[in-house]
Structures are given as structure tokens and as C-alpha cells.
Structure 1
Amino acid sequence: MSGDDPRPWRGHERSATLDDAAVVDYVAEHGPTTPRAIARGRFRENVIRLQCRYLDRVGLLERRGAERFAAAPGLDVSGGDVPDCGYVDLSSSTPPSDRRITDCSGVDAAYVRATNRFFFESQRYPYGQVRGDADRTDREIRNVTRYRVGRVVREFPRIEPVAVQCEHWTRALVGLHFFPDANHRTALATLYSLLRLNGLAPPRGTWPFDGIDAAVTRSKLLRSYHCDVRFDTLWERDELFAHWRRFFQRGFYDRPDRHHEATPATTLDRVLECARQHLGTR
């Protein structure tokens, strides 16, 4: 997968995606609307969500809320505001390439699965087995399809600043919860590989950032009992995203996080264990 195209989903499964012109036309015709409405259950809602955001950035759409967009004032759909190719030029509206992840070629679906298997097979890390059965756990890891993981990689937003990309990647992998266990470890390990591949990795020994234990436990609570992450809701900015945003903004930019020291990790662990016992979930 090339790092040159910030939208590698272009041309892939073309019948499941819309070009920018079709998105703008729909919004202009129907008035303020959401990515879900534009998708109509036929097209990739998560891709359309990204398109709406950058179309707002280039001035063709106008954000009216977290998930609502309208045509920009004075938009002339028939006057060529969208190029004939159907996609707008993003070269002047994205962060510099040295401040974002643009190349995912070394972290494909096979790499993500292999990373989780490493945690399963390693004696250094505990890995929760499905009903205490190692063989069943192994089968469930093998049953995670490359296609599903590959969609996350292929449709990953390459036009956001690096901290936002980290938030999206972590939310996607821990929220979709592909594997029986170690989804947070897999997300953070593969994210570090992405950062290193793009020359953005923090020095070894500082990754993951301080406070990771509490961050992971809080993330487990949000994923299990508050947020609903599915393929059509990928790249939404819900509370799970906001949680990881606070974590990575603090790590990359040293911005304060009032939640960081508010609740000790041990307290959050007790809350999570209590929730699991009462609700019977993992």
C-alpha cells in the first residue's frame, strides 16, 4: 500500500464508496445531513465521515455539529467547484507529511494479527484464554480475517495530525476488539510501529506515555459499557475517542489532562472487575 495517496480507499470496492462530488451533490440537494444519511446503508459510512470533514476543511461543506454538514454558502455544484475526477485536491489542506502518518505499508492486517499472536504465545505477557481453553483461543485468533483488519488500515485517516491519528487508531482496534485478549497491547504496539515507520516514534522507554495503566482500564470501561464501535462508526469522535485524545495530546504536546491523576489505576481496576462480575462481560 503506497504512502503517496492519503485516500487509499479510492478505487477499492468502488461500488461501496462515493467520490467527493457525489457527497457534495447529496448534501447540496438534501440540506444539512449526516454521514449516515449520505451512506443510506449502501456506502461506507466511515469513509464518508472522513470525506465530510475534509470537504469542510477545503470550504465545500460547512460543519453544523459533530456529525452534521451543510453545503457551504455560495457553493455552485454545476460550476466546477469539484474537479472532473470527482475528488478534491487535498495537498494544501492537510498537515505537513512529516507531522502525520502517511505510510501504513509495513503495518498491514497480517502484521496486526502477528502482533496479537506474539502476546498470546509469549510467556512474558498474560493472555486471557477463552473459557480457559488455549486451543479455542488460538482458533479465535486465527479466525480474525485479514479483510476486516485490512479495512481499518486501508480506511485509516491519513489527513489528520499525528496525535489525532493515534486516537483514531487506538479507538478502532480496541473498540472493534478483534482478538480474545491483548487488544490494547496490540493497538499500542502496532501504533508504535506506524509511528516508527513514518519517523514519528517517541524515544524508546517513553512509549507508551506515562499513565498508560489507568488509560487502558478507563478505555476498557468505556468500550465495554458506554461506547459502541462498529465499522460504520469508525472515525467517530465519541467519549472513547475523547479519552484517547486526552492521553495522546498530553503525551505529544504536554497538554494537561484533568483525568490523568484524578483516579488511580487500582481504583479503576476494581470498578472494571465489579462491572464484569455484575454484568457477566469481559
Structure 2
Amino acid sequence: MFNDHSQSLSCSKGGKNVDFYVGRFAPSPTGPLHFGSLITAVASYCDARAHSGLWHVRIEDTDIPRIYPGSEEHILQSIDAFQFEPDSEIIFQKDRLNIYEDVIQQLHQNDLVYACQCTRKILGSNHIYVGTCRDLALPFKDQAIRLKVADQNICFEDRLQGQHRSNLHNELGDFVLKRRDGIINYQLAVVVDDYLQDVTHVVRGADLLDNTERQIWLARLLHYPELKYMHLPLAMNDQGQKLSKQNMAQALDLSHPSELLQQALSALNQPIVELDTPSNMLKQAIAQWDIQHIPKTTELSGIYL
């Protein structure tokens, strides 16, 4: 099935051979949106609109036990407060679990996945899965489901961060698409939904950069078109930590959307936009949008709280 000795170094620039752009903003409701989330939303929206493209919103909530109470409502309120205009109905991944299960069955029929009984205790501190269960042909019920990877380089050209390369076999090993508790893994859901929503361009934070090769590999196995990626530098707090829900980043104050929007555009090093309604500010930001101004780093250190 795989050429285990393949070491192809070809680097794909990604993207469908089409003249349209479909982007998306896909937050996870493990906490309320924070300033880092706003930077991603603004960049993905402006980039899509500057290319006369579509922009979708998707709530990535497959990890149901980690959903923070009220966070989904805060996301929806934020979309309204900043006057973003999605081009389709907002979808929730927890309502689409049957779709992901069907894709796992498709992969199973093509011998691309297998059941794994390894627990964290068995794996210990090993961060590379060595394929312990790959040839055991275990039943799928109540087991984790892993995707087979090959010993070859996956390379892509990030629109901001430049060339990125990884060998999943050597650096990660076969990775989980479904946990043994039944939770669908992010890697599967994001690939399937990007395909079903006809997404062509992904704009997201640099903390997800290392996930990209996994998603490219899965998309190739499913014969999905390859996407174009842009990974934005992460807003950091004054302790040098990225703004995140885990680090208790402050929720967006939706009573001052225009001021926050101005700050987000400044963080992206875009031309100045005067305070106005969020809708008018976004129109001006789109008209002068230029990704060449965005810092080509993975962090915006020590500026944003």
C-alpha cells in the first residue's frame, strides 16, 4: 500500500486549480473567544473578502466533554458584535458525528486504519507511536482508531511561514482519528469538514502549524484536494505564554468591538483603520489588506494581554 522507502522532497504549494477562494473561521468552544481568536477571525475574514471569496464559520466541538459552558453562545455573540458576515449557516461538528464515522469506515475498507488497544500507561513517555497494534487486526469496538502513515516527507509552502516539512513516520507515527472513548479527533473532523465546505484556504494560528502535515496526509488518502495554508503569529501575554483558554486568557469584551478590531488589525500590522462601526472598519481593512505586512514570525511577543 505504501512505499516505505519513499523520501520524496517535493514541496506542494497546495490549493485547488480554481479561481475562487473559500475560507473559514473554526473556533473550539473550550472557552470564550479571546484576543488571539479575534486576530484569527479578522485575518481569515479579510483575506477571504480581499480575494472576493466566501467565508464560513464552523464550531469545532467534537470533544464534547471539554465544551466550556456558555462558550458557544459567546462565539455566536462575537460574530454578531464584530459584524462579520458568514456566507452560510454556522455548523456544529457535534451534529455531524455520523459523517466522521462514515469516513472512518471508508478508511477501514481501504485498510488505511486499524484499532489500537494501547493506553497512555503502555505508551509511557514515547511520543512516536511504533505501530504496536498495526498488524493485530483487533476489533474496532471500544478501541482507539489510528491512521497508517508512510515513511516519506510531506512538504507544503505556508503563505506566511514559508516551507514546512515533516516525516510523520519518523516524527509521530500512526496517529489517532478516534479515541477509545468515542471522541472524534480534531485531525479527522477538520479535514472532512474543510472538504465538505469546499474550503480552499486555511488561515489559523501558528500553534496548529505542526498539525498540517497530518491533515495533508489524511486528505491525500481520501483523495481530497490539497489546501493553501497561512499560519498567523500567536498573540502572547506578558509571561511569554500564548493567549489561550488553558492560560485563562481574558474573554473578548463585546461592549467595545470597534476598539478591539482596531487593535487586532494593528497586531497584524495592517494600515490604520479609523474607529467606526465594525462593519465599516472591516470594509476599509479589506480594501487595504496586505499579508506582506503580517509579521513572518510565530509569536507576537509581550505586547498583547
TM-score normalised by the chain length of structure 1: 0.29
Q: Which structure shows the bigger proportion of residues in strand conformation?
A: 2
